[in-house]
Chain A
Amino acid sequence: MSVMNDPALGLIPGPLHDRLEPLSRAKAWYGWAGYIAPAVLDTVEFEYFALRNQAALFDISPMHTYRVTGPGALAALNRMVTRDAAKIAPGRVAYCAWCDEDGMVIDDGTLFRLAEDDWRLCCQEPMLTWLLDATWGFDATVTDESDTLAGIALQGPTSFAVLEAAGFDLSDMRPFDHREVEPGLRISRTGFTGDLGYELWMDWNDAVAVWDRLWDADPRGGMRAIGSHALDIARIEAGFLAAGIDFQPVHATERLHRGQTPFELGLGWMVDWTKGHFNGRRALWQVRDRPRSRLLRVDVGGFKPARDALVYHAKRRAAGHITSAVWSPTAKRNIALAHVKAGALDRRKPDLWAEIYTAQEGRWDRRMARLTPLAGPFYKPPRARQTPPART
């Protein structure tokens, strides 16, 4: 008698699995919020270059999504996020973060204002109880759409041309705009790549039809479906943070003091002191100019990615660690995000080094690579902001 599979165990297919499965040559799947998601479909390299040179489709349905509606939705959300949600007009979307009462970041995500009293929050972490707590006492209703709303990210320099060929006229859509283009289908000019790109939102059951429409429309035949590895390179190039990697969502930490403030994560620009009270405001005001550490974008010497490396001051004193690292095939730089203790950043020119381990054909070695902090994203093509967008 062998052990039988309990059908409740394991990963389950998402709304686009029937499309992704036949495309998978690499058979490299991983679990994303319980769904079968592709880490790689063909090869990371060619998926990455489809994304940066042509167009790429990526299934973002496993994201957690919540609808907040009602006359009190704005007030409730504005008490939750650090930005001023009142400045988000209907038809606009904004990148936001929200904190606990100690000012530690719970998660970040995108906040869509669908209509005057109708909002949608997309984020990486489950957020239902926090949203219910945040809306308690307000005239607002929270609905968990995580398993009913599907999303497809279409990113890359030909993404506008693909949408055009699929019959969508979005030439006037600016970055962070969104609109319902057809009943039940919303498109936003957003993404996790720092490039020209869109996200399409629809009912779980409509995802395949939308996917097929895009797939068949590609006017140049260069679009690819991609996995998370390729996307991850692009998001590091864009300098975006990944929850659980570049910061620890404070609700997901057991150990004390693992949380980080927006200031420590380089998100201080999102903290609005003028809008009135919001969760964590008092604590954040106390520590606003006293970050314990800072998340830096750094250029790494040499060509070896500084993955999982420790960071040292003056090559000797431990000063932090690398959170994300990759060789950027587009910026042609060795790039990384690094948490560095404030003490090591006091001087005008910080003397920072990453300790990188290398394994070459059975031989391990250690290299110290200089870290040079950079301002701004590693890669920021002008086409990302151009309206109307270019077709190539």
Chain B
Amino acid sequence: MTQTEEYDAIVAGAGHNGLTAACYLARAGLRVLVVEKNDWIGGAAVSRSLHEGWTYSNCSYVCSLLRREIVRDLDLPKYGLQVIPYEGGASFTRDGGRFAYYSDADALRREMARLSPRDADAYRHYSRAIMRQCRFIRPFLLRDAPDPTSLRPRDLGELAYLVKKAHGLGRRELGETLRFWTMSIGDFLDDHFENDLIKAHLAGSGIIGTGLGVYSPGTAYVLLHHYMGDIDGGIGAWGFARGGMGAISGALAAAFKDMGGTIRTGAGVERFLVEDGRARGVALSDGAEFRAPVIASNMDVKRTFLEHTDPRDLPDDFRSQVERFKIRGSSAKLNIALDRLPDMPAAPEHASFIRGDLHASESLVELERAYDDWKDGRWSARPYIDMLIPSRIDPTLAPQGAEMMTVFVQYAPYDLYRNGIRSPGNWTGEARRAMADAVLDQIAVLFPDIRERIEHTEIRSPADIEREVGLTEGNIFQGELTFDQLLFNRPVPGYAQYDSPVKGLYLVGSSAHPGGGVMGAPGANAARTILRRETSGKRMKGYAA
């Protein structure tokens, strides 16, 4: 016996974008059901308690991109969301050297001058160039990407906005912008700086989550993508969600339920039900069926259309474009419970950067080598790590005196090479432990006693992230953030406005414009499109800059 219930809209996947879309749809008066395959909600924005007394943000781990318009609109602080900025960071070398990044401009200039007086001054020019690009791109985040081939007034309007903003830059700045969107972060940093360690520190944001090296074209944009967020208007600032990243999903879910929405966990979408080219509902893995005229998929574009949609309901060229969509797993994650703060001999006592992002890569060359390993199907012998100890700031994550450490690891391939075969199946327990060992060696560059401090470690390979979170190949952005997959090309040309060849089936996740990160923008933009196209008279306000 199957149960069938009618809703106005069904959201497949309770990730932060799915929940954001669900909130906006529910607020417009729709009866909305969110279905989630896991027993918990949040997708990649989760807080999990995997070791008694500790809470891990075991997937995404820091917050900046979450649009403040959405937070304010949905009044997420009322539902328990508190975002706390962290300060600075540092990179360490094997011979005991370091570069500390301070949020205080004078302290930063003095620190850079210690390594290179020229770079200290160059930083002003570098950050101006980045901020100009941020100012240009930020207004597009909460707008739909225009369809350049369409003559609909809405598309023409959006296109005119884009052209106007681009024209306003002037010839030289427009040239810079195009260069910036297509160049490598390595080249961009080489343009500005001479010191290897400073460059290595700044390059990290250009490769996080992406299957590209520091000298691969397009990584400058990836850096921008990590800079264009803000905390309370401080552009480029990053922080923690108090209680872990699950606080974001939790607040969205609480807001959604307050608006009368329903969340059903423990069974994911097996199949999108399509009749006469139109979405009609979902069939879940536990046999339940729900019907609705609007289906919003928070899954990435590949999972949505290649795994859960009948191929007969999709045009061949669309399917092959989706197959070609680049969504490569490049990162792994270690979440570590520490019995106390490890010793940091290379830093002075009370150093503020212990509360920031810590790294152990010395040069762009080293980072490029780390990428070479990945291309060959191996994890990097000396991986790039983006490591934080959020319990230094957030008191809710670990027992008093103990600490929680989150370590983002790059690079780690999805299809690991072993004995002549590349396969995600090669991520055995032994392989994961061996990778973790390489990571701990990197951590030991700044925390030599790290291994003695460990109470518990969660190791997540790209294959684990795919299996548990559902992100294809474990790609954290639901698809590479390269220029060929951005704006009106995201995810595929012709379907960049959250829609698909199946009427009523929409994408609301990071595979859609403007892409990945815990941003909420794809979910909010998609909800706006859905309300405009699928309802009469239910509208969501725009966020014209």
In the complex, B76 has a CB within 8 A of chain A: yes
Q: How far is the CA of A333 from the CA of B233 in the complex (A)?
A: 12
Complex Cα–Cα for A330 and B231 (A) = 11
B-facing residues in A172-230 (Cβ within 8 Å): 219-222
Complex CA distance for A220 and B390, rounded to whole angstroms: 12
Contact A331 B77 (CB under 8 A): yes
Cβ-based interface call for A130 (8 A)? no
B62-78 to A contact mask, C-beta < 8 Å, 1/0: 00000010011000111
A52 to B82, CA, bound (A): 9
What distance in Å separates the Cβ of A300 from its nearest Cβ neighbour in chain B? Answer: 11
B313 on interface, CB distance cutoff 8 Å: no
Asked if A46 CB lies within 8 Å of chain B CBs, one says yes
Q: Which residues of B contact A157 (CB under 8 A)?
A: 395
Within 8 A of A (CB), among B91-126: 103-104
* Closest CB in chain B relative to A309 CB, distance in Å: 18
- Check if B68 sits within 8 Å of A219, measured CB to CB: no
Are A53 and B400 in contact, CB atoms less than 8 angstroms apart?
Answer: no
| B84 located at the interface, meaning its Cβ lies under 8 Å from any Cβ of chain A in the complex | yes
Q: Are B72 and A333 in contact (CB under 8 A)?
A: yes
| Min CB gap A168→B, angstroms | 16
Give the complex CA separation of A219 and B392 in angstroms.
11
Count B interface residues, CB 8 Å.
26
Distance (whole angstroms) from the CB of A172 to the closest CB of chain B = 21
Contact (Cβ within 8 A) A54 B82: no
Segment 383-399 of B: residues with Cβ below 8 Å from A: 391-396
User: Which residues of A are found within 8 Å of B76, using beta-carbon distances?
Assistant: 332
Chain A residues with CB under 8 Å of B82's CB are: 52-53, 330
With A219-B400, A220-B400, A332-B68 given, is the CB distance from A54 to B395 under 8 Å?
Answer: yes
Shortest Cβ distance from A380 into B: residue:
B78
Q: Is A253 an interface residue (CB 8 A)?
A: no
Given contacts A43-B104, A53-B82, contact A161 B400 (CB under 8 A): yes
How far is A327 from B104 in the complex, measured between Cα atoms in Å? 21
Smallest CB-CB separation from A382: which chain B residue?
B80
Residues of A within 8 A of B231 (CB): 329
Taking the complex as formed, is B232 at the interface, i.e. its CB lies under 8 A from any CB of chain A? yes
* Measured CA separation A53–B321 after assembly (Å): 47
Asked if A98 is at the interface of the complex by the 8 Å CB criterion, the answer is: no
Q: Does B225 contact A (CB under 8 A)?
A: no
Q: Quote the shortest CB–CB distance from B124 to chain A (angstroms).
A: 14
- Choice from B77, B78, B232, B400 contacting A327 with Cβ under 8 Å: B232
B85 at the interface (CB under 8 A from A): yes
Inter-subunit contact B85/A222 (CB<8 Å): no
Q: Is the CB of A332 within 8 A of B233?
A: no
Min CB gap B77→A, angstroms: 5
Task: Please state if B68 and A303 are interface contacts (CB–CB under 8 Å).
Answer: yes
Q: A158 near B395 (CB under 8 angstroms)?
A: yes
In the complex, are the beta carbons of B72 and A332 less than 8 A apart? yes
B104 pairs with A332, CB closer than 8 A: no
Interface check B339, CB cutoff 8 A:
no
Residue of B nearest to A334 (CB): B72
- Considering residues B84, B391, B401, which has the most beta carbons from chain A within 10 angstroms of its beta carbon? B84
Please give, as numbers and ranges, the residues of chain A lying within 8 Å of B484 by CB-CB distance: none
Report the minimum CB–CB distance from B24 to chain A (whole Å): 17
Contacts of B401 in A (CB 8 A): 219-220
* In-complex Cβ contact of B396 among A46, A333, A392 (8 A): A392
- A114 and B78 alpha carbons, distance in the complex (Å): 36
B242 interface contact, C-beta 8 A: yes
Does B87 interact with chain A (Cβ within 8 Å)?
A: yes
Name the A residues within 8 Å of B85 (CB-CB). 45-46, 49
B68 neighbours in A (Cβ, 8 Å) = 303, 332
**Binary per-residue interface labels of chain A (330-357) against chain B in the complex, 1 for a CB within 8 Å, 0 otherwise:** 1111000000000000000000000000
**Binary per-residue interface labels of chain B (484-497) against chain A in the complex, 1 for a CB within 8 Å, 0 otherwise:** 00000000000000
Q: In residues 48-70 of chain A, which contact B (Cβ within 8 Å)? A: 49, 52-54
A residues in contact with B234, CB < 8 Å: 45
Contact A222 B232 (CB under 8 A): no
- The interface bits of chain B over 369-395 (1 if a CB of A lies within 8 angstroms of the residue's CB, else 0) are 000000000000000000000011111
CA distance A219 to B340 in the complex (A): 12
**Any B CB within 8 A of the CB of A247:** no
- CB-CB nearest in chain A for B71: A332
Given A331-B77, A332-B77, A53-B242 contact (CB < 8 Å)? yes
Q: Which of B412-449 contact A (CB under 8 A)?
A: none
Closest to B401 in A: A219
Nearest 6 interchain pairs by C-beta: A392-B395, A219-B400, A329-B232, A392-B396, A332-B71, A53-B84
18 contacts between A and B (CB under 8 A): A46-B87, A49-B85, A52-B82, A53-B84, A53-B393, A54-B395, A220-B395, A220-B400, A220-B401, A222-B392, A222-B393, A327-B233, A329-B232, A332-B76, A332-B77, A332-B83, A333-B72, A392-B395
On A, residues with C-beta under 8 Å from B are 43, 45-46, 49, 52-54, 157-158, 161, 219-222, 303, 327, 329-333, 379, 391-392
